[in-house]
Amino acid sequence: MNTYHLLHTFRYCPACGSARFADNDARSRRCPDCGFTFYCNASAATVAIIRNARGEILLTRRGRNPGKGGIGIPGGFVDPGETLEAGCLREVLEETGVEGRIRRFLFTLPNVYPFGGFEVQTVDAFFEVEIDTPEAVRPGDDAEALFWVAPEALDYPAIAMPSVREGLRRLFAK
């Protein structure tokens, strides 16, 4: 757990610019000058569990930080105005070059995504996704490589994001 406030990098009130912007509670800061309160709420993100006919899982090698070079799964942040399902399928298309279909919702897990010196709190929604052409996947966006791995051969320590590691353990670890 963090030993500092979630909004420690926010030093000035975004409404009036006051430097008296201070901790209000564990997830908010408040400005005593204008009364504005800013809350740090979790961002929505998705994870797509894609399997081929052999039961292998599609993994990525991350091409960008955080976790550059580590193992990932297609997925990412949900854009404003998107549903979780639409965000998941957009990320699948961006990272694999193929369209998918949501088969079913699996579960959610909290995550912390370090970005630009700030820790973004997320809630990651895991979906089982089906694609018609597993042989056609090609890396794109922040996936530098794609590969298929049998669940029993997963290298859990190499998985970059804690929520993805925990989600795969939940699904496949015995």
* CA quadruple 94, 107, 50, 73: dihedral sign: positive
* Cα–Cα distance, 31 to 23 (Å, whole number): 9
pTM: 0.87
Segment 83-110, tens digit of pLDDT: 999 999 999 999 999 999 999 999 999 9
CA–CA distance, 22 with 107 (Å, rounded to integer): 35
Per-residue pLDDT tens digits for 141-167: 889 999 999 999 999 999 999 999 999
What's the pLDDT tens digit per position in 35-86?
999 988 889 999 999 999 999 999 999 988 888 899 999 999 999 999 999 9
30-63 b/e (C-beta count within 10 Å ≥ 16 → b): bbeeeeeebebeeebbbbbbbbeeeebbbbbbbb
pLDDT at 2 over 70: no
